[in-house]
Structure 1
């Protein structure tokens, strides 16, 4: 008797079936009974559901709360764009509410969620709403009465900014427990992803990510704050999530913008993706802790206090999924590991705010995550073209110990690149978004620097030309 080729899940997908819980049972039955092509088609017909009617966009956008207004002419265009993009976004058929924060700024074409935006979806996770920088977050460690320069010097010798991970021999360990959990998850059980997660442990990336040292206004204690997300492992999860979400979009809501596609939570993929988000969150927290603990160890110190919060993530309350694209969670229900008050950094020359708050009629349980931008990085650089980089740096960082990991100044991360911290704070108070408990007054800061100037691929290109 001829043995038929074993059927696997990819074969069922090629036949037009979406991966579901019944796959394992069906594959076992087909292979054990060695069904031929016709027998298999008859057997599988029971699992083929009729194509559902596509879910249309809302005719009118769902209501959203506006916690922002322009304070001067430079902000008028930004605020108009933020409101307009929210109006398009809020036609997405899963959404039931939203809010924009005082630090809001657009991130792309109309309909894309802005930075400083919060939207609430019912039974749906939208990978595009957290973007590739999943779990961008901040952690604070209180070092007590220690010279801030000593902390900044130690941190500078330990942290790692820029592209890629740490070289071999300099890597910080990723916990075995977390690696095992990655291997058990549908989205993360990728050995290349796990290898990258190991090499990126203890790294901070580029852009607006930083390591900030300052002193508490209340106690005078020296505090270190790190800001970064889940690095390449998070970006890889985002790519996988968007592919799955867009497969669902094509089936159930083709009118929805590609960037606003969603994974239905009740599906196997939805629950696996939710679990993957929690593991990426755990990796990101471990990444922060690796840097903070290494600084403590180098100086032979014990931490006085520590707390953290993400501000770019998806938060669940029953069947509602709160997507915060740059917004600080205040409500305790959003954080499974409540460690203390929350953190809102503004810019390198301004304090990091230590805040608390509760859900109210304006905030949906969230506060701003920082100061936001009125102009793109390119626009900002053009506006300063009449000055040298050194002149701009000297003017904007006077009295502070500001360092760039690459030794190349990035003027797009200096204070004037951001919204007025004073105005953001005033609108936090005006709209009653949260309460400021303390401030970490700035001493100094480390950022990646201009990573494009001497990027590895540019150096290779120069070498080839030479």
Structure 2
């Protein structure tokens, strides 16, 4: 008698791609009932992996400095406690810049979690490898650097127009084509057009003066742009396929790809290639600015603060945490960078792993309120009044020519308090500061977005 899929379903197997192959084998070899059941055991799904009954312990390097921060801290701790029930997690920490993002149970900004043999795409989110790079320009006028950089960089939606694109290295394009997740000509085309772009939101180009040397330094902050977002989308789909089979009780956003699988190996490799693309993207802007000014760099270093770092079978997922331990960075060239806000110094720090920091430091100042809440709190003032008060003495520019008050200094946690908690919890040591001269950000890209202009024109 010919065996069909109905017999497999009756044995408790859900229809899968392997049905066709299994049925062909069973029928070609005329397996008996016992032989068939023994053969099918290889396809039997394991028992679902349950959530941890109690949250795994995590280190809290955060406390409320005033009443306005109490709600923020409470939400961070609640979301971490739910998150730390995820089956793969073995430890974690929250930094002084922590703030919640998304529903309860999602990793907060300023959160760090350690998973065993698992990569969680939702823990690095779409802005893979959000990072900062510093170049030392020496004794040059900071305004000249800001002007040159302004003429070169690109903020806002999309990539550069044809004829204005900065070439992506052939070596990197070839590597993309050899990876399961990145071998996508549309993705590669986007990667090419987005080279030399910085996006929007809290990404910036900052120019200031070293407190120690008096040299002018440029710092850029951005991630992997659309190529990274595309990888994230693909990674989440694969992770959720595993989640449905391995641990359906795990939150969808906390799904993971087992590292020992082929998909896990390929995703890890894809992350490293997106990391290389992001570093090349920073370098493109820095090198073009140096070339325009006819200046040689004196020093350069960079670090990501939104990424996955590996130590043996442990995967450290930093959703806004700066790696201190050299083992996390394969191309370490100097100290680490912690930006605070446009009116405060960028901190240059160093440090070592200890029981509180797990090898990481904060990545910035964080927020106590959402962008919309912050805007509502300033509704009694004009945008121009807020801008004048908060940026006095600084050269602050918005690429879109539209002020974004949700990126002005008061939108962030008090920088002095964050620094005090860095010292209080022994997270890292500040070894220099880049004192602010000015910066460029995207600005309010929603106000005159291209699609809004088209809609207005049609009317």
Same fold judged by TM-score > 0.5?
Answer: yes
C-alpha separation in 1, matches of 2:360 and 2:41: 42
**Deviation for aligned residue 1:16:** 1.4
SS at match of 1:310: strand
Determine which of 416, 439, 449 is the counterpart of 2:443: 449
What residue is the counterpart of 2:28 in the other structure? 39
Determine which of 264, 268, 271 is the counterpart of 1:274: 268
CA deviation digits over 1:182-204, x for unaligned, max 9?
00000000000000000000000
**Deviation for aligned residue 1:37:** 9.4
Matched, 1:227 2:216: no
What residue is the counterpart of 1:425 in the other structure? 419
After the TM superposition, list the runs of 4 or more consecutive aligned residues in structure 1 that deviate by more than 6 angstroms: 40-44
Matched, 1:463 2:452: no
Relative to structure 1, the CA distance from residue 37 to residue 335 in structure 2 (aligned partners, 3 Å threshold; closer, same or farther) is: same
TM-score (norm 2): 0.93
Determine which of 90, 93, 105 is the counterpart of 1:111: 105
C-alpha separation in 2, matches of 1:234 and 1:301: 31
SS at match of 1:355: strand
C-alpha separation in 2, matches of 1:370 and 1:47: 51
Matched, 1:368 2:362: yes
Matched, 1:205 2:199: yes
Residues 127 and 241 of structure 1 are in contact (CA less than 8 Å); yes or no, is this contact kept in structure 2?
Answer: yes
What residue is the counterpart of 2:409 in the other structure? 415
C-alpha separation in 2, matches of 1:53 and 1:45: 19
SS at match of 1:158: coil
What residue is the counterpart of 1:16 in the other structure? 16
C-alpha separation in 2, matches of 1:376 and 1:441: 27
What residue is the counterpart of 1:384 in the other structure? 378
**Deviation for aligned residue 1:49:** 2.4
C-alpha separation in 1, matches of 2:79 and 2:268: 26
C-alpha separation in 2, matches of 1:259 and 1:15: 25
What residue is the counterpart of 2:143 in the other structure? 149
Residues 131 and 238 of structure 1 are in contact (CA less than 8 Å); yes or no, is this contact kept in structure 2?
Answer: yes
Matched, 1:336 2:330: yes
**Deviation for aligned residue 1:48:** 3.8
SS at match of 2:43: coil
* Pairs within 5 Å for 1:345-364: 345-364=339-358
Residues 17 and 48 of structure 1 are in contact (CA less than 8 Å); yes or no, is this contact kept in structure 2?
Answer: no
Once the two structures are overlaid, the 10-residue window that deviates more, 397-406 or 455-464, is 455-464
CA deviation digits over 1:326-384, x for unaligned, max 9?
00000000000001000000000000000000000100000000000000000000000
Determine which of 40, 54, 63 is the counterpart of 1:69: 63
Unaligned residue ranges in structure 2 (runs of 5+): 1-13
CA deviation digits over 1:51-80, x for unaligned, max 9?
100000011000000000000011000000
**Deviation for aligned residue 1:46:** 6.3
C-alpha separation in 2, matches of 1:147 and 1:259: 46
Number of aligned residues: 441
Matched, 1:294 2:288: yes
C-alpha separation in 1, matches of 2:29 and 2:173: 38
What residue is the counterpart of 2:4 in the other structure? none
**Deviation for aligned residue 1:36:** 8.9
Superposed CA RMSD: 2.0
* Pairs within 5 Å for 1:82-161: 82-161=76-155
C-alpha separation in 2, matches of 1:384 and 1:39: 74
